[in-house]
């Protein structure tokens, strides 16, 4: 049985939204995986799955900086995933794919349109969102989490805010500060540094999964990001272009790692227009 709590909450940047909180979408051992579903005042709205950041080891689904998309008529499902302190990769991607399958299976219950789904993530969440989006039907990444394995985990459009794309090159591109942040984070995620876990690092890199069927991709990154090298978004954009896939890369001059500039009215309008082309 699906249990949820109806409430009104104020998202980071949006007007009041109707929210169903603490919906358990799967359980792995004793770990309960939950999502919060934020719905606009619209009938059967299209759905965005949001993946929070936090270096794969922290963060919370309650942080939803893309909340202004509610005003554009999109429902937002902000999802839990097992952090790297709980499980090594690919647990994180398997969890997010289970959430997508759950939402498709229960679209009628939640009064959302899940025939086409967009995925958006920030930082580590941007990396995971991109990886989920370009790895359709990859058995290692699909996993066996949740009760709706008959459902598709495919998404139809991806937006990555300052996310990683190639864990095999990320350290060589990093600033000294970036190395201080990324090396311990990657050790937790992969079980060691990418050079010590080359097969897992490759599996965790969106650039290695591209094919002609991948969905449209929007990348937004700051050129002064001290934590996540902007070259990561540039790499993924070039790889998309090489495959002849639809991609748009926006580099924000002077922008660092996150902040209001990424989610302001101008960027929200750009993201909404990009989503509309596929989901409307």
**Which pLDDT tens digit goes with each residue over 103-159?**
999 999 999 999 999 999 999 999 999 999 999 889 999 999 999 999 999 999 999
**Tally of domains in the chain:** 1
Q: Which residue has the tokens 């005003």?
A: 71
Q: What is the dihedral of CA 273, 275, 277, 280, to 10 degrees?
A: -110
Q: Find out whether 141 and 93 touch, Cβ atoms under 8 Å.
A: yes
Write the CA distances from 37 to 24, 198, 202, 219, integer angstroms.
11, 36, 32, 24
**Which pLDDT tens digit goes with each residue over 159-199?**
999 999 999 999 999 999 889 999 999 999 999 999 999 99
- The CATH number covering residue 33 comes to 3.40.50.1820
Segments forming the whole domain that contains residue 186 = 5-279
């Amino acid at each position: 049985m699906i249990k949820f709590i109806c409430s009104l909450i104020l998202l980071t940047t949006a007007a009041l939204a109707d929210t169903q909180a603490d919906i358990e979408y799967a359980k792995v051992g004793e770990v309960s995986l939950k999502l919060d579903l934020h719905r606009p005042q619209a009938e059967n709205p299209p759905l965005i799955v949001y993946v929070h950041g936090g270096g794969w080891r922290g963060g919370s689904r309650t942080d939803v900086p893309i909340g202004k998309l509610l005003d554009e008529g999109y429902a937002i499902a902000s999802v839990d995933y097992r952090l790297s302190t709980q499980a090594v990769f690919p647990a994180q991607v398997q969890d997010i794919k289970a959430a997508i399958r759950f939402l498709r299976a229960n679209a009628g219950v939640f009064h959302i349109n899940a025939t086409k789904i967009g995925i958006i993530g920030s930082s580590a969440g941007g990396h995971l969102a991109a990886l989920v989006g370009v790895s359709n039907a990859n058995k290692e990444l699909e996993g066996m989490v949740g009760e709706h394995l008959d459902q598709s985990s495919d998404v139809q459009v991806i937006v990555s805010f300052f996310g990683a794309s190639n864990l095999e090159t990320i350290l060589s591109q990093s600033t000294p500060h970036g190395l201080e942040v990324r090396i311990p984070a990657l050790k937790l995620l992969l079980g060691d540094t990418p050079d010590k876990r080359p097969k897992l690092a490759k599996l965790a890199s969106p650039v290695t999964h591209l094919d002609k069927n991948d969905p449209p991709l929007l990348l937004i990154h700051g050129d002064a990001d001290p934590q996540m090298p902007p070259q990561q978004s540039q790499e993924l954009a070039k790889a998309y272009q090489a495959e002849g896939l639809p991609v748009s890369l926006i580099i924000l001059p002077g922008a660092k790692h996150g902040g209001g500039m990424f989610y302001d009215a101008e960027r929200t309008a750009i993201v909404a227009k990009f989503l509309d082309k596929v989901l409307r």
